[in-house]
Amino acid sequence: MSDTPANGNGHDQDNAQAGASAAQIQVLAQYVKDLSFENPAAPMSLQGQKPALEVGVDVQARGLGIDQYEVSIRIRADAKSANQTIFVCELTYSGVFMLKNITPENIQPVLLIECPRQLFPFARRVVADTTRDGGFPPLLLDPIDFLTLYRAQMAQQKVQPQATTA
């Protein structure tokens, strides 16, 4: 059943055809693929120090079959105070996506920008819950601009082949 009223001039059929060829991204599954939390200096590390925090993010994608891809966000948070590691949290959060009607040149940007954007809120919650359960205040990651991350990754890939051929 259509949301638009039928007017007898064939526009309903045109709308259906346009919808069928529109780009579609469907999340088929999402899950914690790998999770590690280390608190090597406990219980001394739980005494309210303000550690220096370093966070790294990486996005990977791989094909699983026709129109299906696994996208993974890898987050590593290191908290250190002086020469001591306070905690290390590593998370790989993944999702399986079905992409339909997306041109081949747009598949990689969709996988490395839009798909991680959809996964990030869930990965952020896992990191926050894990650090809180480890005895620390929840680590609330700032939003990530996956477009900027993608552009930096593409720029780095362009520089690396030139460096190896020179």
CATH number, residue 44: 3.10.420.10
Examine residue 79 and state whether it is found in any structural domain, yes or no: yes
What is the amino acid identity at position 52?
Answer: A
- Rounded to whole angstroms, how far apart are CA atoms 109 and 146? 10
Measured from the Cβ of residue 123, the count of other Cβ atoms closer than 10 Å reads 24
Examine residue 77 and state whether it is found in any structural domain, yes or no: yes
Q: Is 125 helix (H, G, I), strand (E, B) or coil?
A: helix
- Rounded to whole angstroms, how far apart are CA atoms 61 and 69? 7
Examine residue 154 and state whether it is found in any structural domain, yes or no: no
How many structural domains does the chain have?
Answer: 1
Examine residue 108 and state whether it is found in any structural domain, yes or no: yes
> What is the structure's pLDDT at 20?
56
> What is the structure's pLDDT at 162?
57
Total-model pTM? 0.80
Examine residue 159 and state whether it is found in any structural domain, yes or no: no
On the question of pLDDT at 123 being above 80, the answer is: yes
Task: Return the structure tokens found at 59.
Answer: 């996005």
Q: Is 153 helix (H, G, I), strand (E, B) or coil?
A: helix
Q: Which residues form the domain of 66?
A: 24-136
Reference 115, options 99, 131, 91; nearest CA is: 99
